[in-house]
Amino acid sequence: MAAEFPELNIVQRSSYEGVEEYLRDSEVIFTLSLRPEQFALCQKLRWIHSPTAAVHQFQFPQLIESDVVLTNSTEVHGPVVAEHVIALIFALAKKIPQAAILQQKHVWGQEPMWIQRPHMREVAGATLGLIGVGSIGRRVAQMASALGMRVIAVREHVEKGSPEGVEKVFAASQIDDLVRQSDYVVLAAPLIAATEKLINAERLAVMKPEACLINVGRGPLVDESALLDALRARRIGGAALDVFDREPLPSDSPLWGLDNLLITPHTAGLTEKLWDRQYEHFSANLRRYFSHVPLQYVVDKRRGY
């Protein structure tokens, strides 16, 4: 990057320790997070770029009220996180985790895998309820509809119509209607005040008894205690979580012991091309910055996405 942008004075830090001395003169910051007291030191800052899609970690009043532009990497992660969602749907539908466990035990598990509910199912014809139609959600809809799934979605602005692959759009006030119809409920919404614990005990009770919940958004979108109770009681068919309230997930978390929960350790966006994609994404915006052209992927700081 230094060769491409010789006017840049690049300071790279592998930890937050001692970073304060560099913040005062920084005009552009590429960072996962920034605390209010660190932001207060920034005297020349004009632009913050986050290598994540979620930006709730930047939602403090001083930054929101400032003129500093915030951009994110939603277009970097959207396509590959959508692939992960599809992989989780197939894993749940075909009971791949159970087969892997039986393989380790040298058990031919055809009968127990078939008898235990929910039964293995066909993905084509199933209904996918999508909560969030940003970069991830739009790509999930395209992939799922191509597999023959019926895709329905909740979006904030119903007047914007149905994204590609979405059969029907519900308003946020109709989320329970979407959940009732869905065989797979996929969370790909941003974490804001209105979406915290969006999936709670009441909403889990609305789900079909064989439906599955998939969360690739942020952990606090789900009330983990309520989900734990629902899975233990087998009130829903199962769940797959890539994100959690606390990360890493504590080793003593009761979630680890559930046989109807598939856990992936926040790896949905990780691929061998991740940093190549990040470089292309950020450097394209950096060219715009130096050319005094409006930046792409700008976050509405007040909305949080």
Q: Is position 27 within any domain?
A: no
Q: Is position 50 within any domain?
A: no
CA distance 95 to 276: 34
Question: Which residue do the tokens 């799922």 mark?
Answer: 144
List 46, 56, 121, 266, catalytic entry: 266
What per-residue confidence (pLDDT) applies to 8?
81
Q: Is position 299 within any domain?
A: no
Give the residue ranges of DSSP H helices in the chain. 20-23, 36-39, 61-64, 74-94, 96-104, 110-115, 135-146, 175-181, 201-206, 224-232, 274-290
List 49, 218, 224, 281, catalytic entry: 218
Q: Is 164 a catalytic residue?
A: no
pLDDT digits (tens, 9 = 90+) for 247-280: 999 999 999 999 999 999 999 999 999 999 999 9
Residues 60-64 have a mean pLDDT of: 97
What per-residue confidence (pLDDT) applies to 6?
73
- Please say if the pLDDT value at position 16 is more than 90: no
pLDDT digits (tens, 9 = 90+) for 178-216: 999 999 999 999 999 999 999 999 999 999 999 999 999
CATH number, domain containing residue 91: 3.40.50.720
Residue 168, SS3? strand
Q: Are 133 and 144 in contact (CB under 8 A)?
A: no
Q: Following CA atoms 137, 179, 174, 172 in sequence, which dihedral angle do they give, to the nearest 10 degrees? A: -30
Q: Are 258 and 231 in contact (CB under 8 A)?
A: yes
Q: Is position 143 within any domain?
A: yes
Q: Is position 255 within any domain?
A: yes
Q: Which domain holds residue 127?
A: 77-263
Average model confidence (pLDDT) for the chain?
A: 96
List 247, 280, 288, 303, catalytic entry: 247
Q: Is 266 a catalytic residue?
A: yes
What per-residue confidence (pLDDT) applies to 2?
63
Q: Is position 102 within any domain?
A: yes
Q: Is position 129 within any domain?
A: yes
What per-residue confidence (pLDDT) applies to 42?
97
- Please say if the pLDDT value at position 3 is more than 80: no
- Please say if the pLDDT value at position 1 is more than 70: no
Q: How many domains does the chain have?
A: 1
pLDDT digits (tens, 9 = 90+) for 115-170: 988 999 999 999 999 999 999 999 999 999 999 999 999 998 899 999 999 999 99
Q: Is position 126 within any domain?
A: yes
Helix (H) or strand (E) holding 89: helix 74-94
Q: Is 218 a catalytic residue?
A: yes
Phi, psi of 154 (to 5 degrees): -100, 135
